[in-house]
Chain A
Amino acid sequence: MQAHQRMLDPTPDGQHSGKSPLLRTIGLTKRYADFLANDCIDIEIWPREIHALLGENGAGKSTLVKAIYGLIQPSAGEIHWQGERIVLSGPSEARSRGIGMVFQHFSLFDNLTVAENVALGLDGKESFKDMSARLEQVSKTYGLPLDPRREVWQLSVGERQRIEIVRALMQDPKFLILDEPTAVLTPQEADQLFIVLERLKAEGRAILYISHKLEEVKRLCDTATILRGGRKVATCNPRLETAASLARMMVGGEVKEVKGASGRKTTLPRLAVNDLSLAPAEAHGVRLEHISFELKGGEILGIAGVAGNGQDELFAALSGERLSKDPGTVVIEGIAAGHLSITQRRKLGAAFVPEERLGHGTAPRMRLSENALLTGHAAGGMVHRGFIDTAATLRTVDRATETFDVRKAKRDPEAASLSGGNLQKFIVGREILRNPAVLVVSQPTWGVDAGAAAVIRQALLDLATAGAAVLVTSQDLDELAEIADRIAVMFHGKLSAPLSAREASREKLGLLMGGSSLEPKEVAHAAGA
C-alpha cells in the first residue's frame, strides 16, 4: 500500500529541518538563442514549506519549474536534490525521484474517463483496476472527490484540475510544483485547494506555488522568491509584506491603478441578443435558453458565473462559430447577424477573444504574425487580392507588442513559445488594435500578472470610452466590479437580468451563481419573451 499519510519529516512547522534543503538550484540558467529566460537563479526549497514563485508574465517562472521537472534542459547551473547533484533526463526521472507537477495548461483528453487520463500520465506497471482503486482512495484521503468512471468533458475546470493534482499525488511526491493552479478556479474551489495544500505541507512535503494572486500568496505561503526579467530579485516572507510591496518587487516600480471613465453611451445598442436559444453542438454542451440582453456603445457588460454554465456556448453563438437559424437572435450594429459567419461578423466590426489561448485563440505552432492574420484577414488590410501582406501582419505584431508590452524572445516567435500571460496580452492586443465596435472577450486576464491585468482592463475601459460595446465573461468578480457597468450571471444556460455594478454585491452574485433567484420578478424579466 502507499504511505500517503506517512509523515515524511517530523520536525515542527516553521523550522528548517536537517542540514540541507530538499531541492536547491545553483546558478540555474536557461537560454533561448540570445534570450535569457532564466539567469543564474539560486533557490532553496525546504521540506514542510509552501514556497511562492512570483513574477510578471514572462519573468521566467514556468521556465524555472520546467527545468526543475526535467522538461527542459538548463543551459547552465546545477540542481541539487536532497543534497546530491542531479541531472534530469526527463519528467519521468523527476517523478521517480519524488518531484510532481501540475501544469499551467491542463493536458487531459476530453473523451477519456478520469481513470484513463490518470493512467496515461503514470509510469507504473500496476493494473488498471488497482490504479483506479488507488485513485479513488487518494482522492478521498485528500478530500478531492473524483469519480474515476466519469468522462472528462463532464467535469468543471476545478474538477479537471483535481485530476491533475490527484495524478501528481498518486506518485507520492516529496515536492509538488503547481503552476498557477488558481487562475481558473472559483473562490470556493480555491479555498478547497488551500486546505489540501496545507495538509500536504503538514505531511512534510514541500510545495512550489506559482500565482499572480498576491493576497492568496500572503495567506498560504511561508517563503516567496521573486523573479524579474529572468533574474531572482528577492526572497522574503510574504506574510511580512503587503500585496503592494510584493507587486513593487515584481515590477520594480509602482503598479498603475485602473481608471474607470465610462464613456457616453450611444442611444442605439451596438450588440443585441434576442431570445437566443440553442441546442448544444456536442453531447458535452449546455443548452442556451432564452438569452436576451442589449449592449450600447460605451458600455461594459460583465457576465459572471461558474465555468461550464453555458459561457462557451454563448461565446460561440455570438462569434458565429455556431450559427443560429433565426438571424434576429444576434444583432451587431443594427444588422441581424445570427446567420452570419465569424468572418462576416468581424466585417461588421465585431472582435472576439476566446478563453482558451492555445489552440483556439491561436494556432500554437504558428508564428505571431500568422496568428495576427488568423483574425485580421477579414478586415485588417492584411490581404490584397488573395495574397498575404507579410509586412502588415508584422506591423500588427509590433504594435501589439509595444502597446501591451508583450515580452518575447524574438520579433516573431511561435505562439506556443510565449509565456501564458504574454500570449494573452498579444491576443487581446491583436483584437483591440482593430478598433472594434463590439468586443466579446472571455477571461481577459486569465493568468496575467497584476501589472499586465491592469493594462488589459484599462484597455477595455478605454475601448468602451471610445464608444465600443464590450462584453466580458469572467470568473473573477473583483475584475467585473472594477470595469463593468452592469453584471449578469450565467447559470445552467440561462442569463439573469443584469444588475447595475452598484447593486451587484458579492452576496447577490454569489446567490445567482449558485442558481438561486433574487426575486421572482427579476427572474421572470430575464426569461421574458
Chain B
Amino acid sequence: MQLVLEKRAERSGAIALVSPMIAIGLTIVTMVILFAILGKNPLLALHAYFIAPLTDGYSLQEIAVKATPLVMIAIGLSLCYLANAWNIGAEGQFLIGAVAGSWIAVKTQGTDAGAWVLPAMLVLAAAAGALYALIPAICKVKFGASEILTSLMLVYVAELFLDYLVRGPWRDPHGFNFPTTAEFDPVATVPLLIEGGRLHLGSIIALLVVAAAAILLGRSIKGFEIRVVGAAPRAARFGGFNANQLIILTFAVSGALAGLAGIIEVAGPVGHLQPGISPGYGFTAIIVAFLGRLNPLGILIAGLFLALTFIGGEQAQIAMKIPLDVTKVFQGILLFYVLACDSLILYRFKLVFPNRQVAHGAG
C-alpha cells in the first residue's frame, strides 16, 4: 500500500476559495494544541489573539497600521510570484528604502526645509528599494544566479548597513548613545489621519496600491504579460513576451513598494531610524501574498488578518505571558498549511494497492 499524489483531471474551483479557509482552520487547531502544551488556556489564548484586538478602537487602528507595510510589500511580491520570479528579499528592500528616505530626513534636520521633504523621502525610498531589488534580478538575468539566494542574502547586508549608520554617522548626539537617529522633523513625518490616533496617510497609499494592482492585473496588457509568463512560459514567448524583462520589471516594482513601505514605517509610526524597525514584515508579506492567493483583494484581507496576529500576539503576551515568538510560530504554521492546501487544488491524495506483488530487492 502506498500513498500517492495524483493530478486532478479537472481543477476544482470551489477548493480554490475554500483552501485558505481550511489552512486558517488547521492553523488554529494546531495553535490550540500548542497553547495546551504551553500550559495556557487555549480558549482564552485564542480570544486574546483574535477577538480582543477587534474590540477596541486603538487596536483596530493598530491593525491597520501593521497591515499597511504587509499589504504594500505583498502586492509587489505577488507580481513577482505570478511572473515566476522569486523575490524573497523584500525585508532588505524595506530596510534600504527606510535608510534612503531617512537620509533626507537626517540631512534636513533642524533646517527650515519646506513641505518637499516628505515627498522627496518617499520617492527616494522607492527608488532605492527598486535599485536594491535589481541586484538579484540582474544577477539572475545576466548570470543565471538563483534570485532566491541572492535576494535573501542581501537582507543581511541591508540589516548590517542600517546598523552601522545608526551606531555611527547618523547617531543622535543627544540620544544617550542609543543606536538611533534623532526624531524626524514634522515636515519629514507621515501625517496622521486622526488627530491623536495612530492611523496615518500610509494606509491610504496602501489602498491605492491595492487598487492599482487590481487594475494592472485585471485590465492591462502588462498584467496579462505577467500572468502568461508565469502560467505558460513557452506560450508567453510565442506571444512575444520577454520573461527576462519581466523579472527585471517585477523585481523593480516590488522593491520600490517594499522601499516605500519602509520609509512610511520609519517616518510614520516609528518616527526615527533605528534597528528593529521591522518585526519581519518582508518575510511575513510572503505569507500574506500566498494566503491572499496572489490576488490584490485577497492580499488586502490576508494582510489585515496577519496584522491581527501581530497585535493579538502582543496582547496575549501582556495578558497571558505567552512569548511573542509564538506569533512567528503561528505565521510559519499558517504558511505551511496554505501551501499544503494549495497542493490539494491540483492534486489529490490516493491510497494505492499495487496490482502486482513484485518481490524484488530494494530499488
Contacts and interface: CB of A to CB of B under 8 A. Distances in A.
A154 interface: no
Which secondary structure dominates chain B's binding surface? mixed
Interface string B221-240: 11010011001101111111
A2 B219 CA distance: 58
A266 to B, nearest CB: 27
Given A321-B238, A342-B240, A388 B220 contact: yes
A384 B143 CA distance: 36
A388 B227 CA distance: 14
B362 interface: yes
User: Which of B231, B240, B360 is most buried by chain A, counting CB atoms within 10 A of its CB?
Assistant: B240
B228 to A, nearest CB: 5
A75 B312 CA distance: 47
B222 A124 contact: no
Interface stretch (A196-204, A219-227, A365-373, A502-510): A365-373
Nearest to A32: B10
B6 interface: yes
Contacts of B352: 92, 123
Contacts of B174: none
Interface in A341-383: 341-343, 346, 352, 354, 359-366, 370-371, 373-375, 377-378, 383
Contact of B355 (A96, A126, A373, A386): A96
A127 B361 contact: yes
> Which of B220, B224, B227 gathers most chain A CB within 10 Å?
B224
A386 B240 contact: no
A95 interface: yes
A383 B221 contact: yes
A364 B319 CA distance: 52
A377 B239 contact: yes
Contact of B236 (A91, A363, A378): A363
B295 to A, nearest CB: 15
Contacts of B355: 95-97, 123-124, 171
A352 B354 CA distance: 46
Contact of B358 (A130, A352, A378, A386): A130
Interface residues of B, number: 33
Q: Which of A129, A320, A377 has the most CB atoms of chain B within a 10 A radius of its CB? A: A377
A71 interface: yes
A123 B357 CA distance: 11
B353 interface: yes
B110 interface: no
B232 A373 contact: no
B232 A366 contact: yes
A527 B4 CA distance: 54
Given A96-B354, A127-B363, A388 B224 contact: yes
Contacts of A92: 4, 6, 350, 352
A521 interface: no
A370 B224 contact: yes
Contacts of A321: 237-238
A383 B239 CA distance: 14
A90 B353 CA distance: 12
Interface in B70-101: none
B221 A388 contact: yes
B194 interface: no
Given A96-B354, A123-B355, A387 B240 contact: no
A125 B360 CA distance: 8
A111 interface: no
A386 B2 contact: no
B107 interface: no
A129 B361 CA distance: 10
B9 interface: yes
Interface in A239-297: none
A343 B240 contact: yes
Given A66-B9, A72-B10, A343-B240, A374 B235 contact: yes
28 contacts: A71-B9, A72-B10, A90-B350, A91-B6, A92-B352, A95-B355, A96-B353, A97-B355, A126-B356, A126-B363, A128-B363, A171-B355, A319-B238, A320-B240, A342-B239, A342-B240, A343-B240, A359-B235, A360-B235, A363-B231, A363-B235, A371-B235, A374-B235, A374-B238, A374-B239, A377-B224, A377-B240, A388-B221
Q: Which 6 A-B pairs have the closest CB atoms?
A: A343-B240, A363-B232, A96-B355, A127-B363, A126-B358, A374-B239
Given A342-B237, A362-B232, A365-B232, 10 more contacts: A124-B356, A125-B358, A126-B363, A346-B240, A360-B238, A374-B235, A377-B221, A383-B221, A386-B220, A388-B220
